Amino acid sequence: MKTAFITGGTSGFGAAAARRFAKEGWQIVVTGRRTDRLEALVKELGGDKTLALPFDMRDKAAMESALSSLPAKYRDIDALVNNAGLALGTAPAPQAKLDDWTRMIDTNITSLVTITHKLLPTLIKRKGVIVNISSIAGSYPYPGGNVYGGTKAFVKQFSLGLRSDLHGTGVRVTSIEPGMAETEFTLVRTGGNQAASDALYKGVRPLTADDIAEMIYWVAALPQHVNINRLEVMPVNQSSSGFQVFRETSD
Ligand code: NDP
Ligand code: 8X3
């Protein structure tokens, strides 16, 4: 039986991906801070093939101890889905909170590279796959995207770099770069503002967590000789639009 290790499995893409892999008979390790959500997922997917591993990704000691506690049957990891992440705030740089910036860097970059480094030996042994969740924000800048976009550009480039380093090992690496998807993402970004989240997605038909889960699973389940390097995806009702120009004078 194959094993998927999915970070950030308590909501959104991660929870949907756990369900998608489980449907195909994979056993799952899911991480996240909200223990009640993890327990509910284990109950839903079956305690004999789903393991909840609660820890804060930014806490290196907690990560280390969680990984050391992995029962033998979950240690051979075939797919690492680096999904846990967040955006905080939409303020332009001068007004943004430095704490928000460092939290995004700690979660989206430092935690992601740390867990990847720790799981590389097993992924190499299993000729596994690493699916990193980047974002269109890593390729297309927008006002207020500053550090969030920067972290996702890192994830994209790190994925390509990993591919080079893992040349010849059989390990596949993919960067998935979604656009607007309705999850708890905007609720987190706005500090719990449900009205702002609803307003953002209203009338758009955004991507869903299930859409992204389907892509994560597809990428992982492709034949061993096929590597999707980058997969950029948007809802039909979202597209990019030009540069902004500041006029110093009106005449
Ligand atoms: P959600 O907010 O629904 O899910 C985020 C997940 O990350 C949660 O399970 C959360 O778990 C986990 N997480 C966040 N911080 C930590 C932490 N410090 N330790 C452990 N787990 C953490 O958002 P999405 O599903 O939308 O986001 C998933 C990924 O997709 C993120 O990396 C996001 O940047 C990216 N993305 C999202 C897009 C969107 O429009 N929704 C578009 C492009 C990319 P918990 O809170 O329980 O710890
Ligand atoms: C989330 C997509 O466009 O809201 O990564 O930044 S966007």
pLDDT of residue 161 exceeding 90, the answer is yes
188 closest CA partner among 180, 197, 179 = 197
Distance 185 CA to ligand 2 centre (A): 9
C-beta 197 within 6 A of ligand 2: no
User: Distance from the CA of 138 to the center of ligand 1, in angstroms?
Assistant: 15
The whole-angstrom separation of Cα 128 and Cα 21 is: 14
Distance (Å) from CA 184 to ligand 1 centroid: 8
Residue whose entry in the numeric block shows the structure tokens 């970004």: 189
Which residue among 180, 187, 232 has the greatest number of ligand 2 atoms within 8 angstroms of its CB, and so is best to mutate?
180
The CA radius of gyration of the chain, in Å to the nearest whole number, is 18
Pocket of ligand 1 (CB under 6 A): 8-14, 32-34, 37, 56-58, 83-86, 107, 133, 135, 178, 180-181, 183-185, 188
Q: Which ligand ends up closest to the CA of 140?
A: 2
Cα 66 to Cα 47: distance, rounded to the nearest angstrom: 17
Quote the DSSP letter at residue 20. Answer: H
Q: What residues are paired with 133 via a beta bridge? A: 176
Side chain identity, residue 31: T
Q: What pairing do the DSSP bridges indicate for beta strands 129-133 and 172-178?
A: parallel
Strand partners, 38: none
Q: Is 102 helix (H, G, I), strand (E, B) or coil?
A: helix
Domain 3-233 sits in CATH at: 3.40.50.720
DSSP 32: E
In tens, the pLDDT along 109-136 reads 999 999 999 999 999 999 999 999 999 9
Mutate to test the pocket of ligand 1, among 31, 86, 237 (most ligand atoms within 8 A of CB): 86
148 a catalytic residue? yes
What pLDDT does residue 64 have?
98
Q: What is the pLDDT of residues 183-220, one digit of tens each?
A: 999 999 999 999 999 999 999 999 999 999 999 999 99
